[in-house]
Structure 1
Amino acid sequence: MDTPLIAVEGTYEEMGAEVGHRTADLVERSVETYLRRFRDKSGLSSADVLRWGQTFLDVARAYDPSIAAMLAGLAAGAGQPVEHIAALNARTELLDGTGYHDDGCTALAVLPKYTRDGHTLLAQNWDWHPEQGAVTFLLATRDPEGFAVLTLAEAGMLAKSGLNSAGLGVCANRLQSDRDQAGAGVPYHFLLRGVLQSDRMSRAHRKVLDVPRVSSGNLLIADAGGEAIDLEVAPGAFGALLPRDGLLTHANHFEAELPLEDMKAARSGLTLLRPERVRHLLEDAAAERAVGLEHVVAALRDHYSFPDGVCRHLDPDAGPAEECHTVYSVVMDLDARELAIAGAPPCARPYERWALEEVFKPDAAPELCFDPAADDGRRPPAW
């Protein structure tokens, strides 16, 4: 498997401990990487990181006890200070103001009335530092009540883009505004896990909107019930976007009218065009009510304005600190509770498809699909 899978079951503390134990070496590398970034980019001392980690651990306890329990278990299992694990999950907040601006992400959803199979589709390319690919994996959790989550996760962290057994999924896009500040609000990656812990759309909204926030971010949420919504959030403000002609797309700038200054729109690579580029690539199939997963994959592999397109490649003119590419590409069928994932670069790698009901089996293995090496020049094979 190109993408490791860590599947655990039990209470949230037990699951965290098992994840920490099984990924201890990766967690150590991730902690070292982000402690260096916190120091070099944000000027945070070791004592500062421990203090902020404790602050965000207290936030987790108030926001969602299951998240706090997983953090504590993960730290114990990995042999790390719990404050460092909490700080990892607040890395967006601790890196704000560093001057790093060229991360990206392109996300999309297709409503079931516009898909060939009548299923809700959700997908994303995650663009970030190349070194994080080696410490990122698929995390599957199932609690004693049978509620399951399958999500991409950096080592030591609990969520990114993923889906759950209720048929609800989320994709993440980094945003930045002049409202972002230090403080004891709910970190962005806690919000992502909060959505994935939700058993219905209304609860997911409350986990994102009805909480204090100290940073900006975007969450594209969709479900097997056939709806999708994009939530742009910032400290003290939020906006919502709904699908047009069956499609909902987003990148790294604010699109809703909000009382803030967008700090990324002018700087983040091609963000102003990536959402419309994806829409252009999908709109004909959507008009025919025939969007298939092969159309979504083709859009995620698009190279318009190379190397800064939807499928992001390393820019040879960028310095080491500014290196950014598509680390992982994720495609989800929310009705089937299936997730397919491809590493860097997704234009040249097959996707590995996982069914949520299969990942907890001892002999679980993914099915390869959309393999460029097997393509004869026509569109990628459907699932």
Structure 2
Amino acid sequence: MPPPLPLITAKGTPRKCGTTYGSVAASAIAANVANYMTRFAAAGIDAQQVHGYGALFRAASHQHAPRVAEMLDGVAEGARANVDEIYALNGRTELIYSAAGECTAIAVLGERSAGGHTLLAQNWDWHPDQRPYALLLDTTDERGRRVVALTEAGMLAKAGLNDAGLGVCVNMLGSTKDRRDGGVPYHVLLRSALESAHLGEALAAVCSVPRGASINLLMGQAYPAGTPGEAIDVELAPDDVGFLHPVDGVITHANHFETALARHDTLKYIGSSSFFRSSRARRLLGTGPVEEEGIRAVLRDHGGFPQAICRHDEPGGADADRTETLFSLVLDLDERRMSIAHGPACRGVEYHHIRLGESA
């Protein structure tokens, strides 16, 4: 069965991976850049300002995440796109979005999973008009590090995993500390985590750099047979970090802060389904061994419909507030496997499997 969205494969140095990706996906990247330029304009950010912010994001990325920055420069080169617009695209969260009612993520350690594997999963909920710009990016760099990630055309990563058995899921957060003026962009942080060989390196990559937007990373890693896997949730605000650890072998997260950083949470002032989705996911997982199908069942849940774990578009509302589950993912870190399906996840969809042990 073919993947549910385009799969782009690239090999070589970060620059080479970027240029290959950019050239293969040039038309989709151009369309997505044009789409976000329209969204920026609607938010009162004109083209000159977009380029100025993009230049700030590029400078911060080159300073703090140079390999990822080289890849993004390559994307612009390969797609023959304006490099500042590519960086603004990767900083679109900083520029126009605060926390929205989107994305529910799950981690299950081997001690709780029925098969003994470390599992991550999430629904990626986003504006339904963004569905045509989604793709899978499969890269193998000159060190042999292989990364497979769900992303949008012109970006380098959202949820994904690498051949070291490290995986990342992501939730948007909103903080009163968020700002537009620089820092390493949200999507560059995600790619930095996925480029890491182990959890400690991933934590250093995301915690040690300046940030402009809040982001939640649910990360896990499987280890060689006989060594239990690990998972940790990292809430990142521009000037602080909070951590959550597994409870009874499980972590769940939605779009609000659950650590002490909650004092700066913008959702407290507007409300959100996030405040029940994370807790509901924990309850639905139950107390016994968790089958992978049980995780998929949670991702199909309609409690709170339409603003449920399985999110459905609400016609008639403000366009900027529309959100739907675009894709549903399960990452088996021991098998180095991504299973991905079109959303909403309730529609009897089949999951396509990509295994990193197979040839790229």
State the TM-score, normalizing by the size of structure 2.
0.95
Within a 5 Å distance, the mapping from 1:3-82 to structure 2 comes to 3-41=5-43, 43-82=44-83
* 2:136 equivalent to 1:138: yes
What residue in structure 2 maps to residue 85 of structure 1? 86
Q: State the distance in 2 between where 1:265 and 1:329 align.
A: 27
1:184 Cα shift?
A: 2.2
Q: State the distance in 2 between where 1:350 and 1:265 align.
A: 36
Match of 1:170 among 168, 171, 178: 168
Match of 2:244 among 241, 244, 248: 241
Q: Is the 8 Å Cα contact of residues 93 and 186 (structure 2) preserved in structure 1? A: yes
Q: State the distance in 2 between where 1:58 and 1:242 align.
A: 33
Q: State the distance in 2 between where 1:80 and 1:212 align.
A: 26
1:46 Cα shift?
A: 0.8
What residue in structure 1 maps to residue 302 of structure 2? 303
The letter of the residue matching 2:198 is: R
What residue in structure 2 maps to residue 363 of structure 1? none
Q: State the distance in 2 between where 1:94 and 1:234 align.
A: 15
Q: State the distance in 2 between where 1:78 and 1:45 align.
A: 22
What residue in structure 1 maps to residue 226 of structure 2? none
Q: Where do 5+ consecutive residues of structure 1 fail to align? A: 361-383
Q: Is the 8 Å Cα contact of residues 256 and 262 (structure 2) preserved in structure 1? A: no
1:30 Cα shift?
A: 0.6
The letter of the residue matching 1:326 is: T
What residue in structure 2 maps to residue 215 of structure 1? 213
1:118 Cα shift?
A: 1.0
Q: Is the 8 Å Cα contact of residues 102 and 267 (structure 1) preserved in structure 2? A: no
- Sort the Cα spacing of 1:268 and 1:79 in 2 relative to 1 into closer, same or farther, 3 A: farther
1:144 Cα shift?
A: 1.5
Q: State the distance in 1 between where 2:260 and 2:110 align.
A: 28
Q: Is the 8 Å Cα contact of residues 166 and 199 (structure 1) preserved in structure 2? A: yes
Q: State the distance in 1 between where 2:251 and 2:279 align.
A: 10
Match of 2:151 among 135, 153, 160: 153
Q: Is the 8 Å Cα contact of residues 163 and 337 (structure 1) preserved in structure 2? A: yes
Q: Secondary structure at the match of 1:283?
A: coil
Q: Is the 8 Å Cα contact of residues 102 and 268 (structure 1) preserved in structure 2? A: no
* 2:355 equivalent to 1:355: yes
Q: Is the 8 Å Cα contact of residues 233 and 243 (structure 2) preserved in structure 1? A: yes
Identity of aligned residues (%): 44
Task: After superposition, give the CA deviation of every residue in 1:16-50 in whole Å (9 maximum; x if it has no partner).
Answer: 11111111111011101111111111x11111111
Q: Is the 8 Å Cα contact of residues 178 and 260 (structure 1) preserved in structure 2? A: no
1:261 Cα shift?
A: 2.1
- Sort the Cα spacing of 1:156 and 1:112 in 2 relative to 1 into closer, same or farther, 3 A: same
Task: After superposition, give the CA deviation of every residue in 1:118-177 in whole Å (9 maximum; x if it has no partner).
Answer: 110000111111111111011110012210100001000001000011100111100001
What residue in structure 1 maps to residue 185 of structure 2? 187
Match of 2:231 among 228, 233, 244: 228
Task: After superposition, give the CA deviation of every residue in 1:312-352 in whole Å (9 maximum; x if it has no partner).
Answer: 00113423232110011111000100001111222112111
What residue in structure 2 maps to residue 263 of structure 1? 266
What residue in structure 2 maps to residue 373 of structure 1? none
Q: Is the 8 Å Cα contact of residues 101 and 274 (structure 2) preserved in structure 1? A: no
What residue in structure 2 maps to residue 320 of structure 1? 319
Task: After superposition, give the CA deviation of every residue in 1:231-257 in whole Å (9 maximum; x if it has no partner).
Answer: 111111111011111110000000101
Q: State the distance in 2 between where 1:3 and 1:91 align.
A: 22
Q: Is the 8 Å Cα contact of residues 104 and 128 (structure 1) preserved in structure 2? A: yes
1:103 Cα shift?
A: 3.8
What residue in structure 1 maps to residue 278 of structure 2? 275
What residue in structure 2 maps to residue 254 of structure 1? 257
Q: State the distance in 1 between where 2:359 and 2:62 align.
A: 29
1:266 Cα shift?
A: 5.1
The letter of the residue matching 2:337 is: E
Indicate the RMSD between aligned Cα atoms, in angstroms: 1.4
Q: State the distance in 2 between where 1:219 and 1:45 align.
A: 31
Q: Secondary structure at the match of 1:354?
A: strand
Q: Is the 8 Å Cα contact of residues 167 and 223 (structure 1) preserved in structure 2? A: yes
* 2:196 equivalent to 1:198: yes
The letter of the residue matching 2:282 is: R
Q: Where do 5+ consecutive residues of structure 2 fail to align? A: 224-228
Larger displacement relative to structure 2 (135-144 or 262-271): 262-271
Q: How many residues are paired up?
A: 352
Q: Is the 8 Å Cα contact of residues 101 and 307 (structure 2) preserved in structure 1? A: no
Task: After superposition, give the CA deviation of every residue in 1:96-116 in whole Å (9 maximum; x if it has no partner).
Answer: 46xxx5441100100111111
* 2:113 equivalent to 1:111: no
Q: Secondary structure at the match of 1:258?
A: helix
Q: Secondary structure at the match of 2:275?
A: coil
1:64 Cα shift?
A: 1.7
Q: Is the 8 Å Cα contact of residues 108 and 122 (structure 1) preserved in structure 2? A: yes
Q: State the distance in 1 between where 2:357 and 2:130 align.
A: 28
1:189 Cα shift?
A: 1.1
Q: Is the 8 Å Cα contact of residues 232 and 243 (structure 2) preserved in structure 1? A: yes
- Sort the Cα spacing of 1:96 and 1:314 in 2 relative to 1 into closer, same or farther, 3 A: closer
Q: State the distance in 2 between where 1:238 and 1:106 align.
A: 20
- Sort the Cα spacing of 1:259 and 1:317 in 2 relative to 1 into closer, same or farther, 3 A: closer
Q: Secondary structure at the match of 1:314?
A: coil
Q: Is the 8 Å Cα contact of residues 7 and 359 (structure 1) preserved in structure 2? A: no
